[in-house]
Amino acid sequence: MKAMILAAGLGTRLRPLTNTIPKPLLPIAGTPLIVWNLLLLKRHGFHQVVINLHYLGPMIEQALGDGSKFGMRIIYSHEPIILGTGGGIKKAEPYFSGEPVLILNADTLVELDLEALWDFHRSRRAAATLVLREDQDAERWGLVEVGEHDQIVRITGRGRTTATAIAQRMFAGIHILHPRLLQQVPKGVASSVIDPYVAAIGRGDPVLGYDLHGYWSDIGTVERYTQAEQDARTGRIRLDERSPHDISR
């Protein structure tokens, strides 16, 4: 099982915290945010990870190395020009060897059974599976509409306009995709991964939603960073029985 962590973002909403340190290295309870994601992956059997880099990328590469200290293999995909979620995943496509890949955002702190997610994706023979959340501000985050049998019918109003939605969700930034969905994504051009998902929905491909009920936080603002730090220190989010301080050494 292969995974990718998106870590190329500029972190502009977290400035001045990110003026000299990339957002993925901001500490949560003493451990860099991206390390929490690596530990989550390892806990659920993922040992090969691609990380894309742009803003202050050398700092991330120096901090994580080749992944051996985490019992993993890390490969870096360097982006001299930032490529967004679509272009960044497309650039890393050769590392996937034609196999489905799990994508995580480096700035998301989450508790999720990734093995159960993978089993759902595989057993349903999905082209893509997006992890979704109930949220009263779903429209502000980007509304995802789900129809029968967990089939996503629209994302931000695009997709199957005649289909009936029975649930409204937001995208949690965690997804599994088959590389065949990247065929029409242009190389070396910034784009969003939502575009090939909308195209797949329009074709009738199985793009499914998987509900997340555990902890989730998008560390996008100083306020949410402060709240996530408090949540970690009070035990609301915990990825291993050992202290995160011990694991990150």
Contact between 123 and 206 (Cβ < 8 Å): no
Contact between 10 and 226 (Cβ < 8 Å): no
Confidence at residue 240, expressed as pLDDT on a 0 to 100 scale: 62
Which distant-in-sequence residues (6+ apart) come within 8 Å of 130 by Cβ? 144, 152, 171, 172, 174, 175, 197, 207, 208, 209, 210
Domains of the chain: 2-236 (3.90.550.10)
The verdict on pTM exceeding 0.75 is yes
Amino acid identity of residue 26, one-letter, is: L
247 burial via Cβ count (<10 Å: 0-12, 13-18, 19+): middle
Instruction: Give the mean pLDDT per block of 10 residues along the chain (249 residues).
Output: 93 84 92 94 94 95 95 95 96 95 95 96 97 87 93 94 89 95 94 96 96 91 91 81 38
Confidence at residue 239, expressed as pLDDT on a 0 to 100 scale: 61
Confidence at residue 59, expressed as pLDDT on a 0 to 100 scale: 96
